[in-house]
Structure 1
């Protein structure tokens, strides 16, 4: 399929996607009387085909043995209060809440990538090299992925400290685009769906966020701590379904598009553009791996910026649990001993989580 342009109205369309998916979830029946997980998603453009394959596509029921019910909300509150069992997207809000003592656990991945880097046309040429960002001003949303990843990447990969770049905060990507157009900021890092708006405003794309921090972590999945301790096996079952969904996504494009079409009520081209077009989506990935190595630097940034009280910060590994995913993947590999795809997922797991405390003692390099 050829790549089509991404319009800003897709963000509005994604709200409709969420509402339609919610209606679909409510209409399903738990015919096998499986264990139930009540899970929430953010009402925004951040949707993942892996989640929908697992839930609306029935993989969680068929392969995992758990019945998910999805509800679309705008915050983490229902998980914090125990009214919901878990949340399937968002990362920084979970890091902040957990770091400040809330009883939650981050246990799996949802998506990464998906963000572009634009610059004001008058300075774009020189800023294509991130080493030249020192002393410049970045427009961002406070405490979001773009800020956390950019700060960590500039410090760790380019030797530019937090106080050597200026940050201005805006409510949304559209406001950032306007600020960059008028020269109030030099650089912005918007979601891929805003590409056309940025270009129409005269901004120049100088890269993608993965250029600063390859394979960075974005949305993760978060469980209510009490629920996870009580029914840990339910989350392992859900995560098994995610792993099977990732294989399905990578091996059956036609089948995946069919499922996502039912969720979004969009045509084949729209669905393809938003889940399979790597260039158009700023190399979004939907890998379910927890990716501790990519999340921990963002925890450090949020502590340093004061979103988490440093003097009483809850250590990140205390509420980031890679064992749920590891146990689920072990079960999947045991069920499919000759399938190299799942063994490669274990290799990916080792590479992306080996900075977790005592990792080498807990997990082998291969299965």
Structure 2
């Protein structure tokens, strides 16, 4: 009888412990769910392949895990104007509109990156040898879209060689011809209206089909030149700074997935974009076929400054505003510091910290 009572008491004790544990677990989960997530309105491209870090973080719920309540708004015409009046907190868009609006007084800040690289330089096949080196471009006519990244990067790179691109100068070495889109740039080179053109990597096969020669990716002119950036509405950045840190923590985690889980990420983007696997893999993971395109979320003050100084040099924007008044890398840096502390010794995060120092501090 004693043994039976002892056994019964033991079972009762175990049950009580389990119940206390379950109650504690339940309370913990309720406490976690009771923590209010910070809202952030994100103007977001429907072309998910162009914003992989954000897309991955969105699909894997990293934003929510970091304490955000993201509201994704699809980009439309007038997006930069909408951001500049506070219709969103942050926007993923081209670098030129962000720099131009900020230089002219809009309270917006570049805080992160989405794309670097991604353009090919091409010419007629019979001119491939003639224009193989930048130093041999003197006298060439370049077809570019006005105020495009291609125009600014080529002006910057050629300027480093001492070539004169001032349209008002009697000693002009390079002539820029403004063309409204990539398709017409291709046609302009094919017809001999311009000697050299710049197009996005998606036109690679079209160039080959037309017998035009790709000279090199534009990254050969300026390594990892920056393109699309992440731009914040100034008041939102000041009022919701912790939300921006969480925003970048989620992206940093997603970028690690992008680097380490190629097959999984390709499958994800095939589903999200409805594109063929080869197209997705080439866009995300083939430097040769994507013209050196990369997707680092680093704000990259160094290369952003190169684009901005070129805009100023050719009087596209006022001279008064400094690039350090436009780029605020501190939310990204704080997020990266927290991630590195959370995952000490992780090689991806360690490298991202080294990248940050090289791209933003060592100017």
Q: For 2:342, which of 316, 335, 338 is the aligned residue?
A: 335
When the two structures are aligned, how many residues end up with a matched partner? 323
8 Å contact kept, 1:107–1:324: yes
Q: Which residue, out of 127, 150, 153, partners 2:154?
A: 150
Whether the 8 Å contact between 1:292 and 1:355 is mirrored in structure 2 is no
Aligned to 2:302: 293
User: Structure 1 length as normaliser, TM-score?
Assistant: 0.83
User: Does structure 2 conserve the Cα–Cα contact (< 8 Å) formed by 1:57 and 1:259?
Assistant: no
Report what 2:164 is aligned to.
Answer: 161
Larger radius of gyration: 2
Equivalent in 264, 281, 289 of residue 280 of structure 1:
289
Distance 1:230 1:274, change over 3 A: same
Residue pair 1:46, 1:89 contacting (<8 A) in 2 also = no
CA contact (8 A) 1:42 1:90 kept: no
Q: Is the 8 A contact 1:290 1:322 kept in 2?
A: yes
1:256 equivalent to 2:256? Answer no
1:360: which partner in 2? none
Corresponding residue for 1:85? 89
CA contact (8 A) 2:48 2:55 kept: no
Distance 1:31 1:175 in 2: 56
Where does 1:10-159 land on structure 2 (aligned, <5 Å)?
Answer: 34-42=37-45, 47-62=50-65, 64-72=66-74, 73-74=76-77, 75-156=79-160, 158-159=161-162
CA distance in 2, matches of 1:93, 1:42: 15
SS at match of 1:287: coil
Distance (Å, rounded) in 2 between the aligned partners of 1:143 and 1:46: 23
Q: Which runs of 5+ in 1 are unaligned?
A: 1-29, 357-367
Task: Say if 1:44 and 1:134 are closer, same or farther in 2 by CA, change over 3 A.
Answer: farther
Deviations 1:11-36 (A, max 9, x none): xxxxxxxxxxxxxxxxxxx9985212
Matched-pair contact (CA < 8 Å) for 1:119–1:203: yes
- Give the TM-score, by structure 2 length: 0.84
CA RMSD of aligned residues (A): 1.9
- Retained in 1: the 8 A contact 2:48–2:269? no
Whole-angstrom CA distance in 1 between matches of 2:270 and 2:159 = 41
TM superposition shift of 1:116: 0.5
Aligned equivalents of 1:266 and 1:131: distance in 2?
A: 39
Q: Which runs of 5+ in 2 are unaligned?
A: 1-32, 167-172
CA contact 1:177–1:201 (8 Å) conserved in 2: no
Task: Select 1:266's aligned residue among 254, 264, 275.
Answer: 275
- The match for 2:239 is 230
Structure 1 distance, partners of 2:147, 2:185, is: 15
Aligned-pair distance for 1:264? 0.9
